[in-house]
């Protein structure tokens, strides 16, 4: 596994992947804070596309990611991650809506758990999932990070028109 770091407005992100497919983004704090494993190799080249697209995202010029990702987890978890990728930039949906979209309307808690284990936040936009009441709910990078990502997208949504 290769890894590198990317400085962003929300702090330094840890990026990791293999064969140019992004497999993990680690936040600088929160439950999704990550450190490189001892056998990982520091190398920015395999992650150059991910670095470029994330930089564009934080600059407000990229609304969709177009890079190879290595989704991991159970079949159910991967179905949730794929559904997250369909949430448009600048929009939010509830956990219940994701459960309906994957054909498991009663699996709201399981959707929340799968969302919380998302290894590739931002690119697989779990920050766009909110509680049914509209409240921001748990986020692996901390609620302030989730709020910052949603605010960034709200500021640049007008660019879509």
Q: Which of 32, 126, 129, 149 is catalytic?
A: 126
Q: In whole angstroms, give the CA distance from residue 79 to residue 107.
A: 12
DSSP output for 23-84: EEEEBSSSTTB----TT-EE-SGGGHHHHHHHHHHHHT--SS--S-B---S-HHHHHHHHHH
126 is catalytic: yes
Q: In whole angstroms, give the CA distance from residue 91 to residue 149.
A: 11
Q: In whole angstroms, give the CA distance from residue 123 to residue 77.
A: 16
Residue numbers annotated as active site: 126
């Amino acid at each position: 596994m290769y890894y590198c770091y990317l400085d962003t407005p929300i702090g330094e992100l840890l990026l990791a992947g293999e064969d140019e497919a992004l497999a993990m983004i680690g936040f600088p704090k929160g439950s999704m804070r990550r450190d490189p494993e001892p056998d990982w190799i520091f190398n920015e080249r395999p992650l150059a596309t991910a670095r470029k697209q994330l930089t564009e995202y934080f600059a407000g010029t990229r609304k969709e990611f177009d890079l190879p990702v290595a989704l991991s987890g159970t079949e159910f978890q991967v179905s949730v991650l794929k559904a997250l990728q369909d949430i448009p930039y600048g929009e939010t949906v509830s956990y219940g809506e994701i459960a309906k979209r994957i054909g498991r309307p009663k699996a709201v808690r399981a959707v929340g758990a799968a969302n919380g284990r998302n290894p590739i936040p931002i690119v697989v936009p779990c920050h766009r999932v909110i509680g049914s009441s509209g409240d921001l709910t748990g986020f692996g990078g901390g609620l302030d990070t989730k709020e910052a990502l949603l605010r960034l997208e709200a500021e640049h949504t007008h660019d879509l028109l």
